[in-house]
Amino acid sequence: MTGFARARVEKIIRNAGAKRVSADAIDRLNEILTNYGMNLAKYAVEIARHSGRKTVKESDIKLASTK
Amino acid sequence: MTGFARARVEKIIRNAGAKRVSADAIDRLNEILTNYGMNLAKYAVEIARHSGRKTVKESDIKLASTK
């Protein structure tokens, strides 16, 4: 699953200094970032529930990212 | 710096099971993913250069992600 617009992912790779980028490199980074974001978000949801909240807050994301 | 559309980031958090999400939680995850993507992409660019290429390929992204 890829969750982000290809143009945004390509921009990140170009900002990182790439002169040229293959299409499948963009797709691969998109997939990696989507999976990473999903795993982090799942953990943040668990943290929010554990705290008795239905709302995922910034502090949940922050804590999840330190895992 | 946040590199992705807020709606995409929010969707990931909702797909992860969140009923409600605060605005700053979305911004924080966006920032984390942008920074993670930028660091990974910078390493992929180094790998491509090291291999004598100007084009960043899928294999460069893949190798960078195993760092």
Distance from CA of A31 to the nearest CA of B (A): 11
pLDDT per position in chain A (67 positions), as tens? Answer: 778 999 999 999 999 999 999 999 999 999 999 999 999 999 999 999 999 999 999 999 999 999 7
Contacts of residue B36 in chain A, CB cutoff 8 Å? 33, 36
**What pLDDT, on the 0 to 100 scale, is given for residue B13?**
98
**What pLDDT, on the 0 to 100 scale, is given for residue A5?**
96
> Which of B29, B37, B32, B31 is CA-nearest to residue B12?
B29
**Torsions phi, psi of A4, nearest 5?**
-115, 160
**Rounded-to-integer distance, Cα A54 and Cα B48, Å:** 44
**What pLDDT, on the 0 to 100 scale, is given for residue B51?**
97
Contacts of residue B51 in chain A, CB cutoff 8 Å? none
pLDDT per position in chain B (67 positions), as tens? Answer: 778 999 999 999 999 999 999 999 999 999 999 999 999 999 999 999 999 999 999 999 999 999 7
**What pLDDT, on the 0 to 100 scale, is given for residue A67?**
78
**What pLDDT, on the 0 to 100 scale, is given for residue A2?**
79
CB contact under 8 A, B38 and A16: yes
**Rounded-to-integer distance, Cα B9 and Cα B15, Å:** 10
For A33-52, the DSSP string reads HHHHHHHHHHHHHHHHHHTT
DSSP H helices in A1-67: 6-15, 23-50, 58-65
**What pLDDT, on the 0 to 100 scale, is given for residue B2?**
79
Give Cα B67 distance to the centre of its chain. 15
Contacts of residue B16 in chain A, CB cutoff 8 Å? 38, 41-42, 44-45
**What pLDDT, on the 0 to 100 scale, is given for residue B12?**
97
